Amino acid sequence: MSNTAELSVDGKTYQFPIVEGSEQEKAIDISNLRDQTGYVTLDKGYKNTGATQSAITFLDGEQGILRYRGYSIEDLAAKANFLGVAYLLIYGELPNQQQYQEFEKSIQSHSQVKEGMQTILNGFPQDTHPMIELSSLVNALSAFYPDSYNEKAGDTEEHVARLLAQLPTIAAWSYKKAKGQATVQPNNNLDYCSNFLSMMFGQAGEEYKVDPVVAEALNTLLILHADHEQNCSTSTVRLVGSSQANLYASISAGINALWGPLHGGANQEVIEMLEDIKADGGDVAKYVDMAKNAKQTGFRLFGFGHRVYKNFDPRAKIIKKAADDVLSKLGVNDPVLEIAKGLEEAALNDDYFVSRKLYPNVDFYSGIIYRALGIPTNMFTVLFAIGRLPGWIAQWKEMRATKEPIGRPRQIYVGSTLRDFKALADR
Ligand code: CMC
């Protein structure tokens, strides 16, 4: 097979190298396209654009494959723990026992969030959406650790450990503030997931017994969300970081990107949609029809479809099974689970969804588990952010380590051509 691609334009033929990844994915390297031809590419939504070469996550949307650093998501979800997966993503290998202990210790040693951060949080109105507080407080961390502005002066590893340590604390603080309850201090005797649950659901000054079923379910969900290559929020983190903005500022931007309902915000939308269907008598066919007429109704089935998965989302498969397991272990009977299953079945048997390759995605069943764990709906996307944090960090570090240039797409200008300025009085 040829290792160059030819492009003929304006009567001339140009050659561009073909780049092949370790899983035989192929790309045409057009880095010199404009220099050679004067043309740029136009690819709205970057549907065909490989923005980087990355060694972190492999995803095959046709076959429904997802791997972190070569390990299958099925294996990791069944056998690993979230901190081990975070280490794997960030440092490239699964930690041995000593590396794991040191990693956990360094995270625990950064678990205390500065008091000034609480003051900032308290300045937000009571009913502020927690994603606003999360992104704002993560951004604010740069103010408390100003060495983060200057990569050379600062210790990146310290910022990495601090972010992993403090994001769950900030999330739990935001929840406590909304409930009007006192915050619960981090407990370094607990593992990562149990500590988060204790800060969320414990009461200050009282011992909180973490249900191992809940901690295990959370562990699985966080692993499933830990990375997903160049999605909207990860591309945001890399793009912001490419200007050499600091880690906190870059992650804060990623949190904002994640919040959108077409991305991580979909998990909240799914539960709200399922509740609406339930309140409306549970007629799933009506909602499938509305989604089929999305152009007229403006209604989409949240939790369905994916830019890359055109067969099935392997995370959704694991989550659907986990939802059944967790609800039965916890003795929770959530009627929206049945509505979700009915909706899935109706959609998967409908030509509109089949022909467009629209399948349930990671967000379709995750909310049902979060709800069974006692997480309020407006915190679902916050949980996604806690899960995605190691992926964002790994991608940010990779982008810096490989010295990627500042991200700066081109455009095709379609506005007015040159016109004469008219004074205000003449307009
Ligand atoms: N319900 C109804 N129709 C849909 C849906 C949906 N959920 N998703 C896509 N379509 C239709 C769309 O109208 C279009 O139809 P047509 O060809 O007739 O114009 C076709 O399918 C292709 O859609 P698209 O918007 O061009 O596809 P995309 O790759 O740009 O968008 C998506 C991917 C995930 C944004 C989209 O499927 C969607 O909006 N889904 C609902 C939101 C959601 O669940 N997001 C979570 C994604 S997974 C978690 C994450 O990583 O963020």
pLDDT in tens, 294-325: 889 889 999 999 999 988 899 999 999 998 88
User: Whose CA is closest to atom 4 on ligand 1?
Assistant: 300
Its sign, for the CA torsion 407, 408, 412, 415, is: positive
Residue among 271, 273, 290, 306 to mutate when testing ligand 1 (max atoms within 8 A of CB) = 306
- Describe the crossing of helices 362-372 and 380-401 by its angle, rounded to 10 degrees: 130
Q: Is 57 helix (H, G, I), strand (E, B) or coil?
A: strand
Digit-coded pLDDT (tens) for 229-271:
999 999 999 999 999 999 999 999 999 999 999 999 999 999 9
User: Whose CA is closest to atom 44 on ligand 1?
Assistant: 303
Task: State the pLDDT at residue 152.
Answer: 62
pTM: 0.95
Question: Ligand 1 centre from 360 Cα, in Å?
Answer: 11
Average pLDDT of the chain to the nearest whole number:
95
Question: Ligand 1 centre from 340 Cα, in Å?
Answer: 18
CA–CA distance, 66 with 57 (Å, rounded to integer) = 7
Question: Does residue 397 have its Cβ closer than 6 Å to ligand 1?
Answer: no
Alpha helix segments (H runs only) across 70-155: 73-79, 82-91, 97-108, 115-122, 130-144
CA–CA distance, 146 with 340 (Å, rounded to integer) = 47
Residue among 297, 307, 317 to mutate when testing ligand 1 (max atoms within 8 A of CB) = 307
Question: Ligand 1 centre from 139 Cα, in Å?
Answer: 30
The one catalytic residue in 110, 225, 306, 313 is: 306
Q: Is residue 306 among the annotated active site residues?
A: yes
Question: Does residue 310 have its Cβ closer than 6 Å to ligand 1?
Answer: no
Q: Is residue 43 among the annotated active site residues?
A: no
Q: Which residues of the chain have pLDDT under 50?
A: none
Cα–Cα separations (whole angstroms), residue 282 to 300, 336, 343, 357, 381? 17, 9, 10, 25, 25
CA–CA distance, 307 with 302 (Å, rounded to integer) = 13
